[in-house]
Structure 1
Amino acid sequence: MSILTALCVSRRPATAFVVVGMFWGCFAAYVPVIKGQLGASDALFGTLLLGSATGLVSAMWLAPRADRILGARGMQVGAAMLAVAWLLPGQITVPLVFASAMAFVGLASGLLDVVMNARVSELEAKHNRPLMNANHAMFSVAYACGALCVGFTREAGLPPTPVFAGIGALVLCMLPLMRMDVSFVEAAEGYEGRYPLWPIVLCGAIVLVAFMSEATVEAWSALHVERTLGGGAAEGALGPAMLGITMAIGRFSGQAVAERIREVPLVVAASVISAMGAAIAALAPSPLFAYLGFGILGLGVSVIGPIGLALVGKLVAPHLRTEAISRTAVIGFSGFFFAPMLMGLLSDAFGLRMAFLAVAVLLLSVLPLAVMARRLPMQ
């Protein structure tokens, strides 16, 4: 199946991936501005970002029930909530209030994220073709576009709120494209299988490493370029933009490769490549070398998370798919809970270079997890 065909088949959830990517790309590029207006240190800012992670994880526990209640309008409701939520953080100067606002952002983002990934997994089962990488690639494209646009708006002196409001208005126009009928699958008669704990734990751990690494670069790459390497505002915004561009390339390539190579060998190769990129970014003598590192990291890490979510959908019974993806996402997206705090503490204690080297070590931990996942039977 070609990339265009895959996107055509999954165009409705792909639209939701674009929405999430645009918002988070803009936020990543505005991090130096938002951090500055809060007057927060690295450690404090990392702690404040726990607000979004708390909302994100909470939403993912609630998502399976919300998915059944909302049905075909699940993605529409999540996108509308996200558009409203992002109006708050950019205009807040009180740290505790900022954390609360980010919790609302995380709640909306988490709900939409679980529902759209579940819709893709359902389409994969229906068409018997991999679709996850192509959809996550659309997130990366939108993320890069959002970050690049903010490079221009920051140079023009625009604050975050009008930019987020403009994206929110665009999202509201896109809501009709995200309505998708859902067919809920009941357990097969006589089904006596156990709860799929190990597939969820192992795949969740793989996704956790991928999203911790991704969240680290999203939130701290602009600061690394501007503070450690002396870059300007536009150069700083190019850090997360480079990640988004290369992740899009990696995921589109991963869509084609996934047709020919099984999931586990692909994850192993990707973890090694992304670890090399993190090390290059950490040791970069100039912004240009940092972009190279972020690019290599993006190419590798791009496929790890989507493959982990797709893999758990294949390792569990169909009637447990949405719940399993939700639980896997809880583990995986808790990376957005740990990464900002750990990165802030490491940066305060040892500097951003050592913090990015820690990311390289973290990415190599995927190797034993992938070997264990390979031994689990497919459903």
Structure 2
Amino acid sequence: MRTPIEIAEQSKSALRACFAIMGVASMGWVARIPEIKDANGLNNAQFGLVLLASSLGSITGAQLAGRLVHTYGSRRVLFVSTVLLPAGLCAIGFSTFPLFLAFALFLMGFGYSSTDVALNTQAVAVEKILQARSMSSFHALWSVGAFSTTVLGGSVARILSPEVNLGVVSILCIAAFLPCVARLIPENLDGHQGEDETTAKIALFGKSVTSLWFIGFGLLAALIAEGSASDWGGLLLRDDMGVGKGVNASAYASFALAMITARFLGDRALDHFGPARLVRMCGYFGAIGWAASIAIAVPLSETHPLAALVIINLGFVIAGLAIGPMFPAFILAASAIPGIAPSVSSARAFVIGLSGFFIGPSIIGFLAEGTSISIAMIFPILALVVAGFLSRVIK
């Protein structure tokens, strides 16, 4: 009979694969966003409004998944959520009118947040069993998947329609997800407590959950910046800088590659600097670098387009390096709150925080309609500053 340590060690590779596949499934549409926006006949404000459907799906999925994971175990939840996430991605590719796009985004948001809650519950359990920090490296694999699918989407944009592109990616994700989920740690080791409600029900407000709310707001700020980089990076390059089809995906590709680097180094950095100090430095310096690149590159693009393209991508690299360690740091902080089951506390943080991944881009849409995308990007840059400030709640 295998020991818990042996089971956790053997499950790590499957967990890494699941994070990578989740990155592919959730970001597979990023390179095709300009085409999808145009196919549905949406202006910036309308597109921002439709993106709210993802936020609603994310909030619903995270809250429901936290209770389901606590009651039935993370692996059982994953067998369902890892099908819903790619299904939403596929539906996005086939959308041609706003209502259907909103449904597809809701489904993807629901599947994404449910999968995220369950996988992070697995990651917390693996860390506890092995007594070794690995959360940041797991999220690095998410960034690997996100980067790979962005590069793929940009490279095939001229030869494949969004329908074919996203349909094929969705099928491959489902085929890869299910055998990996089957190899994760079983229900008796993932920290769930069955029908026991003692740590499943937590107050909405009060002294016992004050720190959880601030952790959630820190996560919200970090994910506003991350979601804005993914959803509006290509449109910023196309609409404000005149960058052509395919190449405009370079902004998010640069961002994702930087996040990969930051998260692979994140476990070591978290130990060296401490989570609070690391998040604080990343928030402040990341905001300064990202803002400077946009302020320089957008006006420069009219006369020196190549130099402007290099500068704007450098800014997205800085943003990716800054945001990379934030998600793991805030999630670990939420999962470590005494007296609350990790799946429930992380789900509450997700409800507050993951909505920022979708609400942020929606707000940018409204701001951009009255000004420009480059000016609207001030919002996620300020959110990065707020994330750095809220690092003080991380223990």
Give your verdict on TM over 0.5: yes
2:97 aligned with 1:85, yes or no? no
2:331/2:346 contact within 8 Å kept: yes
Contact map agreement 2:219 2:387 (CA 8 A) in 1: no
> Using a 3 Å threshold, how does the CA distance of structure 1 residues 24 and 281 change in structure 2: closer, same or farther?
farther
2:230 paired residue number: 218
Per-residue deviation, 1:337: 3.7
Amino acid in the other structure paired with 2:209: L
Q: What pairs with 1:296-307 in structure 2 (closer than 5 Å)?
A: 296-307=318-329
- In structure 1, distance between residues paired with 2:73 and 2:85: 16
Aligned-partner Cα distance in 2 for 1:281–1:20: 30
| Alignment-derived partner of residue 254 in structure 1 | 266
In the alignment, structure 1 residue 65 sits paired with structure 2 residue 67: yes
TM-score if structure 1 supplies the norm length? 0.90
The TM-score, its normalising length taken from structure 2, stands at 0.87
Does residue 268 (structure 1) correspond to residue 254 (structure 2)? The answer is no
* Partner of residue 105, structure 1: 108
CA distance in structure 2 between the aligned counterparts of 1:73 and 1:233, rounded to whole angstroms: 41
Q: 1:268 and 1:155 mapped to 2: Cα distance?
A: 41
Matched, 1:282 2:285: no
Is 1:126 paired with 2:129? yes
The change in CA–CA distance for 1:336 and 1:7 in structure 2 (over 3 A counts) is farther
User: 1:203 deviation in Å?
Assistant: 1.2
2:180 alignment partner, one of 177, 182, 185: 177
Verify the 8 A CA contact 1:75 1:115 in the aligned structure 2.
Answer: yes
Is the 2:72–2:192 contact (alpha carbons within 8 Å) kept by the matching residues of 1? Answer: no
- Is 1:198 the counterpart of 2:210 in the alignment? yes
Q: Write out aligned runs for 1:334-345 (5 A).
A: 334-345=355-366
Q: Distance in 2 between matches of 1:256 and 1:130?
A: 9
What residue identity is the alignment partner of 2:310? L
1:143 and 2:143 correspond = no
- Does the 8 Å CA contact 1:46/1:344 hold for their aligned counterparts? yes
Residue 167 to residue 263, structure 1, CA distance change in 2 (3 Å): same
Q: CA deviation at 1:149?
A: 0.4
AA of the residue aligned to 2:354: F
Q: Equivalents in 1 of 2:244, 2:89: separation in Å? A: 25
Change (3 A) 1:291 1:52: same
Q: Which amino acid aligns with 2:347?
A: S
Q: Is 1:209–1:335's contact at 8 Å kept on the other side of the alignment?
A: yes
Asked whether 1:329 is paired with 2:332, we answer no
Instruction: Give the superposed CA RMSD.
Output: 2.3
- For residues 106 and 128 of structure 1, the distance between their equivalents in structure 2, rounded to whole angstroms, comes to 32
String of CA shifts for 1:56-83, please: whole Å, max 9, x gaps: 1101110023223365332232112222
Q: Please say which of residues 27-36 and 173-182 is displaced more in the overlay.
A: 173-182
* 1:348 aligned to which of 369, 380, 385: 369
Paired amino acid for 1:255: D
The alpha-carbon deviation at position 199 of structure 1 amounts to: 2.7
The aligned residue for residue 42 of structure 1 is: 44
CA contact (8 A) 1:29 1:237 kept: yes
1:186 deviation in Å?
4.8
Q: CA deviation at 1:31?
A: 0.4
Return the letter of the residue paired with 1:308. Answer: F
Deviation at 1:239, TM superposition (A): 1.2
The separation in 2 between residues aligned to 1:132 and 1:235, in whole angstroms, is 32
Give 3-state SS (helix, strand or coil) of 2:118's partner: helix
More displaced stretch, 56-65 vs 165-174: 165-174
Kindly tell me: are residues 342 and 7 of structure 1, through their superposed partners in 2, closer, same or farther at Cα, counting changes over 3 Å? farther
Q: Aligned to 1:233, what secondary structure does the other structure show? A: coil
Q: Which amino acid aligns with 1:132?
A: M
- Alignment correspondent of 1:294: 316
**Would the aligned equivalents of 2:65 and 2:77 in 1 still touch at CA under 8 Å?**
no
Q: Is 1:17 matched up with 2:36?
A: no
Equivalents in 2 of 1:29, 1:244: separation in Å? 12
Find the residue that maps to 2:146 and give its secondary structure.
Answer: helix
Secondary structure at the counterpart of residue 215 of structure 1: helix
Structure 1 distance, partners of 2:74, 2:313, is 42
- Distance (Å, rounded) in 1 between the aligned partners of 2:158 and 2:282: 35
Question: More deviation in 83-92 or 143-152?
Answer: 83-92
- 1-structure distance, mates of 2:328, 2:17: 16
Q: What is the identity, as a one-letter code, of the residue corresponding to 1:16?
A: C
Q: Which runs of 5+ in 1 are unaligned?
A: 1-5
For the residue of structure 1 that corresponds to 2:377, the secondary structure is helix
Structure 1 residue aligned with 2:155: 152
Assess, with a 3 A threshold, how the Cα gap between structure 1 residues 346 and 152 changes in structure 2: closer, same or farther. same
Contact persistence 1:278–1:356 (CA under 8 A):
no
Task: Provide closer, same or farther for how the CA distance between residues 253 and 9 of structure 1 changes in structure 2, counting only shifts above 3 A.
Answer: farther
SS in structure 2 of the partner of residue 21 of structure 1: helix
CA contact (8 A) 2:74 2:118 kept: no
Q: Post-superposition shift, 1:9? A: 6.1
